[in-house]
Amino acid sequence: MKLLLSLPLFALLSFSSAQAQTAPAAQAKTASAATAQFKTSAVCEMCKTRLEKSLAYEKGVQSAVLDVPTQMLTVTYRPDKTSPAALRTAVQKTGYDADDQAADARAYSRLPDCCKKTNAVH
Ligand SMILES: [Cu+2]
């Protein structure tokens, strides 16, 4: 999974750096994407929908996919528009833990009971 994700990313990165040497002006249009992964406290399909939607609205995010069984959120983003720290904060503000950072308490309190982190993944 990790290898499959990193291969196209590598191709994309080499493509844009090659382009940067020949046509710097074109680089902005084809800015490379980066990928970040966060371990979240998401437990169900509702969490998946909520998190993916929330991250999709974040500046610079190209895609966000949560794997419910592993609770891993994979975000593809534009490094010139956002950062892993900002994305982690977005996860927390949606009500979920992100790696070792605890969820925003108010957002977490608004989650339905089925989405509380005291539940096992279901
Ligand atoms: Cu849920």
Q: What percent of the chain has pLDDT over 70?
A: 75
pTM, two decimal places: 0.75
Distance 57 CA to ligand 1 centre (A): 19
Q: What's the CATH number where 77 sits?
A: 3.30.70.100
Q: How far is CA 16 from CA 10, 33, 36, 63, 96, in A?
A: 10, 10, 19, 19, 34
Distance 84 CA to ligand 1 centre (A): 23
Chain segment 3-50, per-residue pLDDT in tens: 455 545 445 444 444 444 444 444 455 568 999 999 999 999 999 999
Distance 68 CA to ligand 1 centre (A): 9
For 43, the token pair is 């437990």
pLDDT the model gives residue 32: 87
Q: Tell me how crowded residue 70 is: count the other CB atoms within 10 A of its CB.
A: 13
Distance 43 CA to ligand 1 centre (A): 5
**3-state class (DSSP) for residue 23:** coil
pLDDT the model gives residue 21: 47
* Statement to judge: residues 23 and 49 lie in one domain: no
- Containing structural domain, residue 67: 33-115
Number of domains observed in the structure of the chain: 2
**77 and 62 in contact (C-beta within 8 Å)?**
yes
Average pLDDT of the residues in 94-99: 98
Average pLDDT of the residues in 77-98: 98
- For residue 120, tell me if it sits in a domain: no
Q: How far apart are CA 87 and CA 72, in angstroms?
A: 13
- For residue 20, tell me if it sits in a domain: yes
pLDDT the model gives residue 30: 58
